Amino acid sequence: MAAPIIETCHVACCANRTPNVLSWGRGGLIAYGTCNSVALYDPQKCVVAVLNGHTGRVNTVQWVHREDCGEETHLVSGGSDSLLIVWEAQDGKVCFKAIRSRNSPHTIFPILACGGDDCRIHLYAQCNGQFRKVLSLQGHEDWIRGVEWAYGDLLLASCAQDCLIRVWRLVAKSRTKRNAQEERTIRMSEDVFTLTQNDASSAFAVTLESVLAGHENKVYGVHWQPPVIKGGDQHQSLSLLSASMDKTMILWAQEEGSGVWVEQVRVGEVGGNTLGFYGCQMSPDGSMILAHAFHGALHLWTQSHGKEGEWSPGVVISGHFNAVQDLSWDPEGEFILSVGSDQTTRLLTPWKRMDQTQPTWHEISRPQIHGYDMQCLAMVGRFQYVSGADEKVLRVFRAPRNFVENFANISGTPLAKLLASSDTVDQPEGASTPALGLSNKAVFQGTLCNYFEIDFLCNFVCVCVSTEPPPEDHLLQNTLWPEVQKLYGHGFEMFCLASDSGRTVVASACKASKAEHAAVLLWSSTSWRQLQALPCHSLTVTQMAFSPNGLFLLAVSRDRTWSLWKRDDPATTPTNTEPHFSLYTSTRKDTAVHTRIIWSCDWSADNKYFVTSSRDKKVIVWGDCSSSEAIVTPDEPPVIRPCSSIIDVGDSATAVSFCPILCPGNSYLLAVGLESGQVLLYKWELSEEPAGASDWTRYGETDSSQSHSLTVKRLRWRPRAGRAGQGGEEEGEGSITAADSSWVQLASAGADHSVKIFNINRLAV
């Protein structure tokens, strides 16, 4: 069987901001809505599948439970696109089991409970094929946010914005009349209704079993522990889990003997400028509980073995809760930084565990939590980066020592190697953000003890050594990177950034509607001074890329043109002269090949060619086609022109990237991201007379489950061959095996809030 060309390595995504969007199946898979998709997540591994079918936000997800308590094979999702989709498992490993109906003298009345914004619970019963309203339960004093039936005992749990949980009991009424003594007995008031089906009538009564008061804010979710099969019968453990906006989950159960409902366990999040939980779920065996928060983060707690009543935080995946705008690999290809419209910068890396052969990707740091939507970033060295947001200021961040130590523990990279590749002189321990500020302030070892005295000014920083990915509350407060510099110079919001391979120059561009604001600014990464402005375009520069040798800077623009800037030869200038660029060549509106905005660009690894992609669906490779050498000759007139045939990819090409590992036979591997969310793989080979796109070969594409559900915003290849986290321990850290060298990795950022990492098999191309 041929090896697949594209494999999904990791999907970083979070839950949508809505209740009832997460469901834990008895097979162990957690299904939750993320943007317009449904993610299937295995807590022990990673996201195993993404279901794309909705065109609007997914608002509710629910597994269809089976009567035999077996593994579910059907899933229902509902979205803001007014669609309900039923998904069916078709994996050969899932065995469908037919359940025969048993003849029973009992009459079955399906009852539906609905919580309304009128503070009432409305009960509907199916009689003769039609649902009709039979009763309204009053008691809550605000909107009903969740209702759920228990199996076995007919108990209904409801929660509302009045901070209370109510447990109702449904019982069948006896047809016999009460005697005088029963009439005098004090009992709870009952709401009675009668159902008739096939000329048979039955009376039912609903009573209030208990009112649970323990939360201090709106309660958004309640969930009963799933039933299990014991001795051939279904057994329901009456444990009720609740989640609230007060950042806590409570596990309720009846006290033995008295039957009073009491709080058994309370877990939650402490600190951080966040809101609480939107919903909760319990694992099939009751050993794990999970909540999803207002900002989409998952919070997992696991019951400690041998310690009853003790729960500890677990490791889960995380992701952006809004569009991901940009991402970048570190120079060694060991971690990924991403920025998004959720105003955060996140760092993902593989986690190596001794008990597992394959590493899993996790977020281990959140270097920046901003007050503006993030737009772009560029790595400057191993542990330093520049970011831009919807503001005029660029910000420079450097990793604290605590992050370097934790990264070594989690990734398995020797600490000495990491310290040798970073500037550890006067390196702070961590960072903290003032309560009314946007800048991350450095925290040094000597000042940690004083933070208790100024806690009203800054969020307290807890510097600790981690051997596993941190939980959400730790990411929010203790993994910030200190801001070391601000760069001023642009007149409007930042749009794109780029840095050269030598990490000496950073290029930046902002939104522009006039030529005076469309100039590219160059910055020195040593002094952080502005080196020069490069005016050429009349509208926003949408993306920039330095050639791998650092001699050229390519810029593409909304004005449908590109410009190529050449760096002055260092051999002809004094050593103390800072880098200087001059215009080498450019296209004009009357000579431009692209007819719509150019979204993306990139360079080939050998510096010979660059590629552009546009909204006009065209992808073009450019270069000096008359020469087999890289574009380095300054004396000859520029002859940069299309070297490839113009290929139509069928949709707006919003992202493009050259693979840094060359293919055999002087061919190049490219990835193209589309507005539809699909990623295409092409192999391009220089041809003397390309016609009909004969120089292009389409080798692969992401299928519906691998693609983004919205626009691909950025594509970045890992700068070296192999898969991150797969380095051979015996051969030395950073080395790769022969089998792993056939793989390359591609990271993609999407407007669907996700970061995806793909493994590409070069031998299959």
CA 173, CA 192: separation in Å to the nearest integer?
8
Residue 510 lies in a domain: yes
pLDDT confidence bin for 427, thresholds 50/70/90 = confident
Q: How far is CA 353 from the centre of its chain?
A: 22
Q: With CA atoms as reference, report the closest residue to 45 among 346, 355, 302.
A: 355
CA 530, CA 506: separation in Å to the nearest integer?
9
Query: What tokens does 176 get?
Result: 């016999």
Q: Which of 65, 90, 115 finishes a domain? A: 90
pLDDT given at position 92:
41
Query: Which CATH number do you get for residue 534?
Result: 2.130.10.10
Q: Which domain holds residue 406?
A: 324-485
**Model confidence over 498-546: pLDDT tens digits?**
999 988 999 999 999 999 999 999 999 999 999 999 999 999 999 999 9
CA 664, CA 667: separation in Å to the nearest integer?
6
pLDDT score of 99 more than 60: no
Counting the structural domains of the chain, the total is 3
Q: Which residue has the tokens 């600014």?
A: 521
pLDDT given at position 436:
61
Burial letters for 585-598: b for 16+ Cβ neighbours within 10 Å, e otherwise?
bbbeeeeebbeebb
pLDDT given at position 346:
97
Query: Exposed, middle or buried, 307 (CB in 10 Å: 0-12/13-18/19+)?
Result: exposed
**Model confidence over 138-159: pLDDT tens digits?**
999 999 999 999 877 789 999 9
Same-domain pairing of 637 and 669? yes
User: In 3-state terms, what secondary structure has residue 684?
Assistant: strand
Q: Which of 455, 485, 515 finishes a domain? A: 485
Residue 373 lies in a domain: yes
234: DSSP letter: E
pLDDT score of 757 more than 90: yes
**Model confidence over 428-445: pLDDT tens digits?**
777 777 666 667 777 776
Q: With CA atoms as reference, report the closest residue to 511 among 390, 342, 652.
A: 390
pLDDT given at position 762:
80
pLDDT score of 605 more than 60: yes
Same-domain pairing of 521 and 434? no
CA 571, CA 443: separation in Å to the nearest integer?
42
Same-domain pairing of 460 and 509? no
Query: Exposed, middle or buried, 82 (CB in 10 Å: 0-12/13-18/19+)?
Result: exposed
CA 320, CA 748: separation in Å to the nearest integer?
13
Q: With CA atoms as reference, report the closest residue to 347 among 365, 362, 330.
A: 365
pLDDT given at position 98:
28
Read off the amino acid at residue 41: Y
Phi, psi at 567, each rounded to 5°? -80, 140
pLDDT score of 733 more than 70: no
On whether the CB atoms of residues 505 and 524 are closer than 8 A, the answer is yes
381: DSSP letter: S
Same-domain pairing of 538 and 675? yes
pLDDT score of 452 more than 60: no
On whether the CB atoms of residues 673 and 653 are closer than 8 A, the answer is yes
Q: How confident is the model over 356-378, as a mean pLDDT? A: 93
Read off the amino acid at residue 467: T
**Model confidence over 625-650: pLDDT tens digits?**
766 566 655 555 567 899 999 999 99
Q: Which residues are CB-contacts of 48 (< 8 A; sequence separation ≥ 6)? A: 29, 40, 41, 42
CA 670, CA 121: separation in Å to the nearest integer?
56
Q: With CA atoms as reference, report the closest residue to 607 among 619, 623, 620, 585.
A: 623
CA 127, CA 594: separation in Å to the nearest integer?
64
pLDDT score of 577 more than 90: no
The CA-atom distances, in angstroms, between 299 and each of 247, 270, 280, 476, 538 are: 10, 12, 9, 13, 48
pLDDT score of 93 more than 50: no
Same-domain pairing of 528 and 602? yes
Query: What tokens does 342 get?
Result: 């959720």
CA 123, CA 195: separation in Å to the nearest integer?
12
Same-domain pairing of 361 and 385? yes
**Model confidence over 16-33: pLDDT tens digits?**
999 999 999 998 999 999
Same-domain pairing of 625 and 581? yes
Residue 230 lies in a domain: no
Residue 521 lies in a domain: yes
Q: With CA atoms as reference, report the closest residue to 738 among 725, 724, 721, 719.
A: 721
| Ranges assigned E (strand) in 548-652 | 552-557, 562-567, 581-586, 598-603, 609-614, 618-623, 641-642, 647-648
| Ranges assigned E (strand) in 110-178 | 111-115, 121-127, 130-137, 144-149, 155-160, 164-172
Q: Which of 485, 505, 532 finishes a domain? A: 485
Same-domain pairing of 568 and 675? yes
Residue 497 lies in a domain: yes
Residues facing 557 on adjacent strands = 541
Residue 141 lies in a domain: no
pLDDT score of 102 more than 60: no
CA 706, CA 690: separation in Å to the nearest integer?
32
CA 429, CA 462: separation in Å to the nearest integer?
10
Q: Compute how many other C-beta atoms are within 10 angstroms of the C-beta atom of residue 452.
A: 8
| Ranges assigned E (strand) in 628-754 | 641-642, 647-648, 653-658, 667-674, 679-685, 696-701, 712-717, 743-750
- Supply the mean pLDDT for the chain: 86
pLDDT given at position 105:
43
Q: How confident is the model over 322-328, as a mean pLDDT? A: 97
Report the share of the chain in percent with pLDDT over 90. Answer: 60
Same-domain pairing of 379 and 410? yes
Same-domain pairing of 431 and 337? yes
Residue 123 lies in a domain: no
Asked whether the CA dihedral 341, 343, 345, 348 is positive or negative, the reply is: negative
Query: What tokens does 740 get?
Result: 């792993």
pLDDT given at position 95:
29
Residue 729 lies in a domain: no
Same-domain pairing of 386 and 515? no
**Model confidence over 677-732: pLDDT tens digits?**
999 999 999 887 766 668 899 989 999 999 999 999 999 999 999 998 886 543 34
User: In 3-state terms, what secondary structure has residue 460?
Assistant: coil
Same-domain pairing of 425 and 543? no
